[in-house]
């Protein structure tokens, strides 16, 4: 395996998404470049399954490296976006044969992020360098008491924006002169889906299921809805199984009300005097605030900070509405957007600098 100087290590980062492939190269924490290549629906439609895109995206990474004149022999590690795997605790994982098998077979689900670990492995194998994933969406550190629902057959599940949540939590902890492992934080990632999590001493012990409909209403998610009325709707014979799932994820939230998942469109409507839009704006902010406040009792109010992140945090008015409702609990920090590329690079960096040990799947 390739050796490296402890002072400078070069890391290749790969983040495959539904409509894009992001590639970056870092020398330690310094980003040499980051590039996002968008993929049209027509471009991807030639592939019957997502897994069939592996060679296409692998070759694309090579083209990007060549464009930026990055010699693959200079790279010390490659890290990919973590995919749908069995539930795992947070951390950096070495891509091994068991992980490759589960990602390739799509045993735990289909999503473009599954390609991250697969492409990382292929690139690592070619250069005799380690391949990793960091904090996949299936990170599950939830404590048993928070899994209870009142129906024994149903347990709450941990599916959330683990990569960015963990990254911003570490970032804000450091900014306030503390260690992530020694703080209590409430983090709200606000994007197409919204996850609100309690980070206690470096572990996410409670979080809403941001994928399958729990927590606050989001641009594309229904959030928690009255269970009895949902059952009635399911058995009304108006909708198929697939249509009901679409009502919860993808076709819900702002999409269901205004036909768009873009907060900017909602803001335009508000600026033009649309009262319904103003109510939706307030309602979503209130629901996020309630979700944040609901986590404080678990640590008896001992919350060091509240962090607002994700795409919706870019809107000062929206973040301000939430901040004004929850800052009585703890100081509120706004970290707009996402830190996915940095989070992937830094996860691998901690392993290469022997600050942490990689975990085995």
The DSSP result for 138-190, as a single string, is TB----GGGT--SSTT------S-HHHHHHHHHHHHHHTT--GGG-EEEEEEE
Q: Mean pLDDT score of the chain, rounded to an integer?
A: 94
What is the rounded average pLDDT of the residues 68-80?
Answer: 96
Is 273 among the domain residues?
yes
Question: Where residue 280 falls among pLDDT bands split at 50, 70, 90?
Answer: very high
Say whether both 355 and 318 belong to one domain: no
Say whether both 253 and 323 belong to one domain: yes
DSSP state of 198: E
Is 157 among the domain residues?
no
Is 218 among the domain residues?
yes
Say whether both 72 and 166 belong to one domain: no
Residue 81 tokens read as: 């976006």
Are β-strands 184-190 and 305-310 bridged in parallel, bridged antiparallel, or unpaired? parallel
Say whether both 124 and 206 belong to one domain: no
DSSP state of 9: -
Is 147 among the domain residues?
no
CA 298 to chain centre: 23
Query: Any idea what the CATH number is for the domain that residue 124 is in?
Result: 3.30.420.40
Is 5 among the domain residues?
no
Say whether both 279 and 297 belong to one domain: yes
Say what the pLDDT of residue 126 is. Answer: 87
Say whether both 135 and 239 belong to one domain: no
**How many C-alpha atoms does 24 have within 13 Å on its Cβ side?**
25
Say what the pLDDT of residue 17 is. Answer: 87
DSSP state of 11: E
Say whether both 136 and 227 belong to one domain: no
Say whether both 222 and 188 belong to one domain: yes
- Using one digit for the tens of pLDDT, what is the confidence trace for 210-246? 888 799 999 999 999 999 999 999 999 999 999 999 9
Contact status, residue 135 vs residue 195, Cβ threshold 8 Å: no
Say whether both 286 and 304 belong to one domain: yes
Say what the pLDDT of residue 2 is. Answer: 54
Is 204 among the domain residues?
yes
Question: Where residue 73 falls among pLDDT bands split at 50, 70, 90?
Answer: very high
Four-CA torsion 233, 236, 239, 244, nearest 10 degrees: 20
Residue 93: domain span: 10-140+341-360
What is the rounded average pLDDT of the residues 179-186?
Answer: 97
Helix (H, G, I), strand (E, B) or coil at 313: helix
* 307: enclosing H helix or E strand: strand 305-310
Is 321 among the domain residues?
yes
Say whether both 194 and 327 belong to one domain: yes
Cα angle 49, 246, 104; round to 5? 25
Q: Tally the domains of the chain.
A: 2
Say whether both 187 and 61 belong to one domain: no
Residue 212 to residue 224: CA distance in whole angstroms: 10
Question: Where residue 344 falls among pLDDT bands split at 50, 70, 90?
Answer: very high
Is 59 among the domain residues?
yes
Say whether both 345 and 332 belong to one domain: no
């Amino acid at each position: 395996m390739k050796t490296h100087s402890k002072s400078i290590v070069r890391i290749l980062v790969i983040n495959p998404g539904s409509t894009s492939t992001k590639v970056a190269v870092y020398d330690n924490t310094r980003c040499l470049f980051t590039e996002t290549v968008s993929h049209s629906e027509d471009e991807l439609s030639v592939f019957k399954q997502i897994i069939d895109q592996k060679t296409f995206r692998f070759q694309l990474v090579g083209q990007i490296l060549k464009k930026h004149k990055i010699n693959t022999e200079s790279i010390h590690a490659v890290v990919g976006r973590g995919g749908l795997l069995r539930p795992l605790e947070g951390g950096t994982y070495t891509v091994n044969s068991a992980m490759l098998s589960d990602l390739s077979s799509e045993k735990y689900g289909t999503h473009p992020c599954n390609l991250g670990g697969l492409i990382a492995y292929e690139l690592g194998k070619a250069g005799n360098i380690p391949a990793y994933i960091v904090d996949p969406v299936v990170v599950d550190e939830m404590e048993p008491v928070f899994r209870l629902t009142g129906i024994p057959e149903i347990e709450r599940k941990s599916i959330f924006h683990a990569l960015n949540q963990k990254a911003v939590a570490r970032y804000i902890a450091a900014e306030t002169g503390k260690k992530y492992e020694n703080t209590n934080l409430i983090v709200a990632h606000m994007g197409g889906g919204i996850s609100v999590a309690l980070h206690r001493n470096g572990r996410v012990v409670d979080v809403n299921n941001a994928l399958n409909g729990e927590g606050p209403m989001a641009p594309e998610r229904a959030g928690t809805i009255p269970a009895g009325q949902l059952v009635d709707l399911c058995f009304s014979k108006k909708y198929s199984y697939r249509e009901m799932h679409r009502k919860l994820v993808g076709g819900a939230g702002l999409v269901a009300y205004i036909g768009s998942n873009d907060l900017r469109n909602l803001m335009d409507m508000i600026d033009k005097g649309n009262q319904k839009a103003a109510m939706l704006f307030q309602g979503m902010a209130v629901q996020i605030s309630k979700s944040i406040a609901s986590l404080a009792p678990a640590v008896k109010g001992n919350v060091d900070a509240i962090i607002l992140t994700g795409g919706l945090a870019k809107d000062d008015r929206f973040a301000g509405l939430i901040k004004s409702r929850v800052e009585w609990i703890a100081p509120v920090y706004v970290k707009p957007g996402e830190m996915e590329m940095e989070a992937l690079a830094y996860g691998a960096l901690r392993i290469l600098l022997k600050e942490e040990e990689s975990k085995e799947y």
